[in-house]
Amino acid sequence: MKTFNKILLVLCTILLIVSCQDMEDLNKNPNQPDKVSTATLLTGAQKKMMDYIYDTWFSGRQALPYAQYWSQRNYTEEDRYQIRESVNNNYFNHLYVTAGNYVLIEKMNTDEATKSEASAYGNNNNQIAVAKILKVWLMQVIADTWGSVPYSEAFKLNDGIKYPKYDDLDVLYPQLIEELDQAVALINEDEVAFVSGDRIYDGDASKWKMFANSLKCRLAVRLSKVDPNWRTYIDEALASGVFTSNDDEAMFQYSNEAPNECYFYRGFFVDRRNDFSITKPFTDLLKGQRDTLNNKAHPWEGIVDPRLSVYTTPRGGKYIGLPYGLPSNRMTSAIRNAAPSWYSPIYDPKAAPVVLRKDFSVPLMTYAELCFILSERNNWDRDWYEKGIRASIEHWYALDGRTIDQALIDDYIDDVNNVVNAETVATQKYIHLYMQGTEAWSEYRRTGYPLTMLKPGEYSYIVGGEKLPFEPLSETKGDLPARVKYPTNESTLNPDGFNAAIAKLQDGVNNYYSKMYWDVRTAANPHPANQ
């Protein structure tokens, strides 16, 4: 009997343990796992980063209008620099949260408690390198948008830093370059970076190394007027290995399957917003047409750019852009409807330009951009300039699933290579950077080109014989915005850093006209890239 009782006691104990374990399992939410792999973190961070930046808000209502690629058909106040403060707050937070995910990937691959488990998803050092590269890319977008921002003390809440300081750009940019060097030094090209989850290079460590070095060139040229070592940075990158063709480009490809379509497609054809058209200034540039309203010369008058038919669609057999910066009460239906309307309730992939397709590949950086950088590094080198044009045309036609006769590219290059200088290199670079609004806007602020940009006070359009001037709703001191105002949420979330950063701005106020550290243009010398 005693033996039976002992057996019964043991069985009851086992049953109790199993039952407790079962209850624990029942209390777990399968949709909120306790642990997330570094590969899963990477996939989510890459997609969120591209969704936030290349969408109809951050890009559509800010970066693309500031670069004068897109005009708004309805809410033209945003083209005139009237920001939606809620949007500004949200995107500042979104981008920092995403950058924090890259920091977490670095941490999971360095902490002794997690690095062994993380190594199942790729070489630890390679994972750290990829996270650093993407973090640097994203932080440059953030810095190029708002100016001085938290970085050296950011992402350190667990270290007790609740209110990170704002790093001045003369400190931040060299730090970003240093991190790229660190990333390159970590990369082992004989092992994969990630065994899965990488939607940019599918874990190819060699490609990530080339991207890091090419990105270093972008950062270096941004500092071309303020750092005497900028050419040295580029030479170091070249020695380590940069893009060598369009096959090396850093591209994030969206899917044809919901919900992973490109956000430009979702904006037009899922949300059914028909808010944007390509601008008249940009369309006229591609058509080789002079701005007669403002008497602005065109570098290649009468020469039609072969990328015109890729970037936009005709309306009534003509390529017509939407006037930029008109007041909403002057944007008549007749003006609006003369420009291409890409929206259709029934999506026709053949009717929309490639940038609005479901599976559009969004660039982080391209070989053509690198070519133009190297042309500038070598004092407007003709060979690199021509390589950049060829690479750009081939890049865009390939995205569109089209081929172009090399003889046609040769003819176009012959038409635009009579003069190779600061203006022509910068203008071709601007044409190529279509849809990369922040980068194009930054390059204008650095170089002053292209000259076709519509400035405050210049005329936008003629309606009924009346010339309508471009009149911003925020003060920009007669130029395009020099920056975006700091989001108001920062005044309560990080008051010390926020107030200290504003105190360093021109006039000590949160404004659109305080120039970036690397923007040294003056009234006497508006185009310092000529030097």
Single out the residue of 461, 487, 468, 478 nearest to residue 515, CA to CA: 478
Q: What does the pLDDT read at residue 330?
A: 93
Q: Answer whether residue 3 shows pLDDT above 90.
A: no
Looking up tokens 């090209």, which residue turns up? 189
Region 284-306: mean pLDDT is 96
The predicted structure's pLDDT at residue 337: 87
Q: Is the pLDDT of residue 156 over 50?
A: yes
The answer, yes or no, to whether residue 20 has pLDDT greater than 90, is no
Cis peptide bond upstream of 259, omega within 30: yes
Q: Token pair of 56, please?
A: 């109809």
Average pLDDT over residues 265-283: 90
Counting Cα atoms < 13 Å in the Cβ hemisphere of 90 gives 9
- Is 90 exceeded by the pLDDT of residue 331? yes
pLDDT in tens, 56-91: 999 999 999 999 999 999 889 999 999 899 999 999
Of 9 and 209, the one with more pLDDT: 209
DSSP code per residue over 273-297: ---EEEBHHHHHHHHT--BTTTTB-
CA distance linking residue 285 with residue 394, whole number of Å? 19
Structural domain boundaries of the chain? 35-531
Residue among 108, 100, 95, 111 at smallest CA distance from 38:
108
- SS3 call for 252: strand
What is the identity of the amino acid at 443?
A: E
Can you tell me the distance from the alpha carbon of 103 to that of 473, in angstroms, rounded to the nearest whole number? 38
Mean pLDDT, residues 22-35: 47
- Run of H or E residues at 42: helix 38-53
Residues 6 or more apart in contact with residue 217 via CB below 8 angstroms: 233, 234, 237, 238, 242, 370, 373, 374, 377
Place of tokens 């609004």: 437
- What is the model's pLDDT at position 229? 97
Tens of pLDDT, residues 420-459: 999 999 999 999 999 999 999 999 999 999 999 999 999 9
Q: Is the pLDDT of residue 517 over 50?
A: yes
Mean pLDDT over 87-110 rounds to: 97
Q: How confident is the model at residue 17 (pLDDT cuts 50, 70, 90)?
A: very low
pLDDT band at 34 (very low <50, low <70, confident <90, very high): low
Averaged pLDDT, 348-377: 91
Tokens 């203006």 belong to residue: 423
Predicted confidence at residue 234, as pLDDT, reads 98
The fraction of the chain above a pLDDT of 90, given in percent, is 84
What digits encode the pLDDT tens for the residues 136-148?
Answer: 999 999 999 999 9
pTM of the shown model: 0.93
DSSP state letter for 63? I
The topology under which CATH files domain 35-531 is: 1.25.40
Cβ-Cβ contacts under 8 Å for 367 (sequence gap 6 or more): 243, 244, 245, 246, 248, 249, 391, 395
Q: In this predicted model, what pLDDT tens digit does every residue of 448-497 receive, in sequence order?
A: 999 999 999 999 999 889 999 999 999 999 999 999 999 999 999 999 99
Span 379-420, pLDDT tens digits: 999 999 999 999 999 999 999 999 999 999 999 999 999 999
Count CA atoms closer than 13 A to 139's CA, side-chain side.
31
Angle of helix 124-146 versus helix 437-447 axis, rounded to 10: 60
Per-residue pLDDT at 351:
74
Residue 269 has a pLDDT of 85
- 145 burial class (0-12, 13-18, 19+ CB within 10 angstroms)? buried
Does residue 33 surpass a pLDDT of 80?
Answer: no
Are 218 and 210 a contacting pair, CB within 8 Å?
no
Compute the distance between CA of residue 198 and CA of residue 193 in angstroms, rounded to an integer.
9
pLDDT value at residue 16:
39
Rounded CA separation 179/232 (Å): 16
Q: What is the pLDDT of residue 389?
A: 98
Locate all alpha helices (DSSP H) within 400-480, ordered by sequence. 406-416, 422-432, 437-447
pLDDT at 42: 98
